[in-house]
């Protein structure tokens, strides 16, 4: 099996076991844990620290949080569609979505918006009726890094159709944890 196929199979197993087959409360708790870890990481950063570009070619923490806010907004709309057992309209959320001018947004506003969106996501998950399965699926742009020839990693992209639990796990757990790791790398540099 080549690296792409192996990465896709691994991601699908993760989404099935951590999402689709998981109890709704476990999905909610895993999402809450990731969102809480993100909020804790960025809560006390000064605007100058968040905007510092420490690693060439990497987003600064301010841009990372901007990206998360920009993806969480339409993601919340898509989650609400899935929880109404409807396929979200339109195209999947782009993988590298950012606002038009991320560094122009005031850092305190960005943090407040992140906290508000996190609370809205958790409220949506808290409101899931007991026993709700839902049949609707949403297309998600999956991005996984695989080893590159000659060292390092290269991103692999594909579209995956996800139920509400797998969607929640990829959108607010895996995605958030990836960006927490990225932010930690930038802060450590």
Question: Looking at residues 98-107, what average pLDDT do you find?
Answer: 96
Nearest Cα residue to 97 out of 78, 76, 121, 69 = 69
Residue 106 sits in a domain of what CATH number?
A: 1.20.120.450
pLDDT digits (tens, 9 = 90+) for 159-182: 999 999 999 999 999 999 999 999
Residue 58's domain comprises 3-188
CA distances from 178 to 37, 72, 129, 130, 172 (A): 12, 14, 29, 30, 10
In this prediction, residue 57 has a pLDDT band, given cuts at 50, 70 and 90, of confident
pLDDT digits (tens, 9 = 90+) for 2-50: 888 999 999 999 999 999 999 999 999 999 999 999 999 999 999 999 9
How high is the pLDDT of residue 33?
Answer: 98
Greater confidence (129 vs 82) lies with: 82
Instruction: Say if CB 168 and CB 82 are below 8 A apart.
Output: no
Report the domain count for the chain: 1
pLDDT averaged over every residue in the chain: 95
Report the alpha-carbon distance of residue 122 to residue 176 in Å, rounded: 14
Report the alpha-carbon distance of residue 116 to residue 137 in Å, rounded: 25
């Amino acid at each position: 099996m080549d690296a792409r196929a192996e990465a896709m199979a691994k991601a699908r197993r993760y989404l099935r076991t951590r999402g689709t087959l998981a109890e709704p409360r476990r999905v909610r708790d895993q999402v809450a844990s990731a969102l809480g870890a993100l909020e804790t990481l960025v809560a006390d950063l000064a605007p100058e620290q968040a905007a510092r570009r420490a690693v060439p070619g990497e987003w600064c923490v301010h841009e990372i949080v901007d990206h998360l806010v920009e993806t969480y907004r339409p993601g919340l709309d898509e989650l609400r569609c899935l929880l109404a057992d409807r396929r979200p309209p339109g195209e999947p959320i782009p993988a590298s979505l950012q606002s038009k001018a991320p560094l122009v947004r005031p850092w305190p506003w960005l943090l407040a918006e992140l906290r508000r969106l996190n609370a809205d996501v958790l409220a949506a998950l808290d409101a899931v009726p007991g026993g709700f399965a839902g049949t609707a699926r949403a297309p998600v742009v999956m991005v996984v890094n695989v080893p590159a020839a000659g060292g390092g990693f290269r991103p692999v992209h594909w579209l995956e159709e996800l139920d509400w639990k797998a969607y929640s796990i990829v959108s607010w757990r895996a995605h958030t944890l990836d960006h927490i790791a990225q932010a930690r790398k930038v802060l450590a540099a």
